[in-house]
Chains A and B, each alone.
Chain A
Amino acid sequence: MKALCWNGVRNLNVETVEDPKILNPRDALVKVTMSSVCGSDLHLINGFIPSMQAGDILGHEFIGEVVEVGPEVHQLTVGDRVVVVSVIGCGECSYCKEQLWSLCDNSNPHAVIQEKIFQYPTAGIFGYSHLFGGYAGSHAEYIRVPFADHGAFKIPEDIPDEQAVFVSDGVPTGYMAAEMAGIKPGDIVAVWGAGGVGQMAIQSAYHLGAERVIAIDGLDYRLAAAATHGHAEVLNYKDTNVLEALKEATGGRGPDCCIDAVGMEANSTGIEHYYDRTKQFFKLETDRPAVLRQAIAACRKGGTLSVVGVYAGFADKIPMGLFVNKALTMRGGQMHGQRYVPLLFDLIRKGKIDPAFMLTHPMPLRKGSEAYEIFNGRTDGCIRAVLMPQAS
């Protein structure tokens, strides 16, 4: 089959590889019909997440059709149209049972190695480096789905592909960001990053009771989308002093909830940006936490920070003094997709959340490298490019 492989920093190629096989009794094979690019892939492509190997197949946000099931798969049948959650959970360990699927004890084949860095191992993720299991990703014609009964959800007939594909990762990540922010009715929520996850966090925040949502980004077209589809107020950090503007917009209080949907490759302005770029280049810090710093500064006293942007390791100059003295709460996590999918189907059906507008660039798999160039370059109004491996 054809698959989009990582061959080094900013070096992707479509290669012919072996077809996947069932390797464990709880595996299923899925014929991929749509596979989205994700902002978190850019950290892999740009070389900021360790433990990638040349030949790794990328992609973790996808839908498809079940073509084969292992002997211990009982909820799925061949022909089912499914969305597969990007994090892999066994469903039997105490974390999965507590609905904390991205913390699964048993789905990461490299748990013992990952444990040496994280102290406790986390779940495997499709196409997301060997630290997270080294599973082959979904930018391919077929994919093996471990623990398929828990990870693959049948898509209701009235939900079209262009909505369903984002239920794999983008929508649940945005929803969980809003949920972790602990939004109370009347709250003002600030969301940094108006990419796919940020857009979904905005819509979810309104659904969970936010009075106003303010989106912060450096790209006007993404802010326009946040305003149009998410009814967010918008701030472009490139021409606004964000801290002052947020203070101004909130009557001097600051936002009650701050969501970081940007993560480790945050861009900022002025000397701070060059400071982080330099430290990251020399591996003195793995993450550029400009958004996290700003969110800590911007948040109202006693407010909540919710971090879903991906961080890999270590970040410098985190203003802990502000965090402690302002009595903030901070939560973070990779999303626990399996917990949210049925709820999100429901919200999509009711029109409370609508991710379809994010699919700006449907492209065939053979153009995978080009798709990431457009997405990484933020050109041509791109929010998400989605690869269609069955299209020619």
Chain B
Amino acid sequence: MNEKIVKNVGATERIVSVALGAYLLAKGLRRLNYRSVPTLMFSGYLFMRGGLGYCPISKRLGKKDVQTPAINIKAVMTVAKPREFVYNYWRRLSNLPAFMHHLQEVKELNERQSHWIAEVPGIGGKIEWDAEIVKDEPNERIGWRSIDGALIRNAGKVEFFDAPRQETEVRIIFSYHPPAGGIGTAAARLFHPIVKGIIENEAYNFKRVIEAGEIPTINGQPSGKRTGKIKLI
């Protein structure tokens, strides 16, 4: 192998490769005879693939090198309030925790800078960072990003457009860069669906709060014994 080793296996895939490799190793060793040779060889290959993050087969198949792009979560909704009202509500970033429950607090330090405290969705634990508003066009758009040094680099943008009947179209993008390096990326990948679900739901809460003044809930209502599996759909 005279090619330079370039990582071309994603973090989740690496975890899966090692896990599968370990399973096959155990299986192959349990009944050691000539038939377990291919199993053990394949197991070794998977260990190599997972451990090095390099897969010659993927390389042959033309798979590109792994990068860690920003993870974006988008939401779009129409709100039955005038554009100015919606902009002003959002411009007070301290209003965000009223509908984004994973944010514990957003403290406005001055016109541009703010301090954010958040629970890490799906995992628990707290992270804090400072952010600054980098774009502020009244009634049009607001953009912000974390200031250098944040554990999870993140940014957000919300844009406002006129909709029929004096309503407002709101387009929201949150993006975050998981901490660089294997474990951070792997964790971010694993938790991304959870984070995405929570943030989508919380973004929808914006509409509920600004229109209805409250977020509908059934938490705390009575029910009979919850026997059996709870599954929503």
Residues of A within 8 A of B (CB): 1, 3, 5-8, 13, 15, 17-21, 23-26, 50-51, 53-57, 72, 88, 90-94, 97, 105-113, 117, 124, 130-131, 133-136, 140, 144, 146-147
Can you name 15 A-B residue pairings with CB atoms under 8 Å?
A5-B224, A17-B222, A17-B223, A21-B220, A23-B217, A24-B216, A54-B228, A56-B224, A57-B222, A91-B212, A105-B207, A106-B216, A107-B212, A112-B197, A112-B201
By a CB distance below 8 angstroms, the chain A residues around B221 are 20-21, 23, 135-136, 144
**By the criterion CB–CB under 8 Å, are B167 and A94 in contact?**
yes
B222 & A107 in contact (Cβ 8 Å cutoff): no
Contact status of A93 and B211, CB under 8 A, knowing A56-B223, A57-B224: yes
Q: How far is the CB of B139 from chain A (nearest CB, A)?
A: 20
Per the 8 Å Cβ criterion, residues 179-233 of B in contact with A are: 197, 200-201, 204, 207-208, 211-228, 230-233
Q: Write out the residue numbers on chain A whose beta carbons fall within 8 Å of the beta carbon of B80.
A: 92-94, 97
The residue from B211, B214, B219, B224 contacting A105, defined by CB atoms under 8 A apart? B211
Closest to A17 in B: B222
Whole-angstrom CA separation of A91 from B217 in the bound complex: 16
Decide if B39 is an interface residue (CB 8 Å cutoff): no
- A147's nearest neighbour on chain B, judged by CB, is B212
Are B227 and A93 neighbours in the complex by a CB distance under 8 Å? no
The interface residues of chain B lying within 8 Å CB-to-CB of A110 are 232
Residues of A within 8 A of B217 (CB): 23-24, 109
CA distance A304 to B200 in the complex (A): 39
In the assembled complex, how far is the CB of residue B165 from the closest CB belonging to chain A, in whole angstroms? 6
Q: A15-B225, A54-B228 are in contact. Are A72 and B233 (CB under 8 A)?
A: no
Q: Are A92 and B216 in contact (CB under 8 A)?
A: no
Scan residues 23-70 of chain B and give those whose CB is less than 8 A from a CB of chain A: none
- A334 to B221 Cα, complex, angstroms: 24
Q: Are B232 and A130 in contact (CB under 8 A)?
A: yes
Do the beta carbons of B218 and A92 come within 8 Å of each other?
no
Point out the residue from A130, A134, A136 that lies within 8 Å of B222, measured CB to CB. Answer: A136
Q: Decide: A15 near B213, CB < 8 A? Known: A53-B230, A110-B232, A112-B200.
A: no
A97–B231 Cα distance when bound, in Å, is: 33
Contacts of A94 in B (CB 8 A): 78, 80, 165, 167
User: In the bound complex, do residue A5 and residue B214 qualify as a contact, i.e. CB atoms below 8 Å apart?
Assistant: no
Chain B, Cβ-Cβ closest to A134: B218
- Chain B hits for A88, CB < 8 A: 216
**Residues of the A chain whose Cβ atoms lie less than 8 Å from the Cβ of B231:** 51, 53
The CA of A13 and the CA of B211, in the complex, are separated in Å by 38
* C-alpha spacing A239/B120, complex, angstroms: 65
Partner of A92, one of B197, B204, B213: B213
Give the distance to chain A from B203, nearest Cβ to Cβ, in Å.
Answer: 9
A26-B213, A94-B80 known; A15 vs B224 contact (CB < 8 Å): yes
Interface residues of B (CB under 8 A from A): 78, 80, 165, 167, 197, 200-201, 204, 207-208, 211-228, 230-233
A5 nearest in chain B by CB position? B224
Is A113 a contact of B232 with CB atoms below 8 Å? yes
Please report the C-alpha to C-alpha distance between residue A5 and residue B224 in the assembled complex, in whole angstroms: 6
Known: A21-B220, A51-B233, A144-B221. A112 touches B204 (CB 8 A): yes
A208 to B220, CA, bound (A): 44
A27 closest partner in B (C-beta): B214
Distance between Cα atoms of A24 and B197 in the complex (Å): 23
Q: List, in ascending order, chain A residues with CB within 8 A of B165's CB.
A: 94
Contacts of A92 in B (CB 8 A): 80, 211-213
Given contacts A54-B227, A106-B207, 14 further A-B contacts (CB under 8 A): A5-B223, A20-B221, A23-B221, A51-B232, A55-B226, A55-B227, A72-B213, A72-B214, A88-B216, A106-B208, A106-B216, A113-B233, A133-B216, A133-B218
Q: Is the CB of B216 within 8 A of A146?
A: yes
Taking the closest CB of chain B, its distance from the CB of A322, in whole angstroms, is 33
Considering the complex, give the chain A residue whose CB is closest to the CB of B210.
A92
Q: Which residues of A contact B208 (CB under 8 A)?
A: 90, 105-106
* List of B residues within 8 angstroms of A56 by Cβ: 223-224
Contact (Cβ within 8 A) A20 B216: no
**Residues on the B chain within 8 Å of A8, using CB:** 228
Beta-carbon contact of B224 and A23 below 8 Å: no
B226 in contact with A107 (CB, 8 Å): no
CA distance A7 to B233 in the complex (A): 16
Q: A23-B217, A106-B207 are in contact. Are A3 and B224 (CB under 8 A)?
A: yes
| Cα A131 to Cα B208 with chains together (Å) | 18
Chain A hits for B223, CB < 8 A = 5, 17, 53, 55-57, 136
Q: Which of B204, B211, B218 contacts A111 (CB 8 A)?
A: B204
Is A124 touching B222 in the complex (CB atoms < 8 A)?
no
B208 to A: closest C-beta gap in Å: 5
CA distance A147 to B223 in the complex (A): 20
Q: Chain B contacts of A109 at CB under 8 A? A: 215-218
Shortest C-beta distance, B217 to chain A (Å), equals 5
Contact partner of B218 (CB less than 8 A), chosen from A5, A6, A106, A136, is: A136
> Does A25 contact B214, Cβ atoms closer than 8 Å?
yes
Taking CB as reference atom, which chain A residue is nearest B203?
A112
Q: Which residue of A lies closest to B167 (CB)?
A: A94
Kindly report which residue of chain A lies nearest to residue B216, judged by CB atoms: A109
Partner of A106, one of B167, B211, B220, B225: B211
A25 touches B233 (CB 8 A): no
Cβ of B214 and Cβ of A26 under 8 Å apart? Answer: yes
| Shortest CB distance B19–A (Å) | 29
Q: Which residues of B contact A111 (CB under 8 A)?
A: 204
Q: CA–CA, A26 to B214, complex, Å?
A: 8
Contact A7 B214 (CB under 8 A): no
* Bound: A387/B46 CA distance, A: 64
Point out the residues of chain B lying under 8 angstroms from A146, CB to CB.
Answer: 216
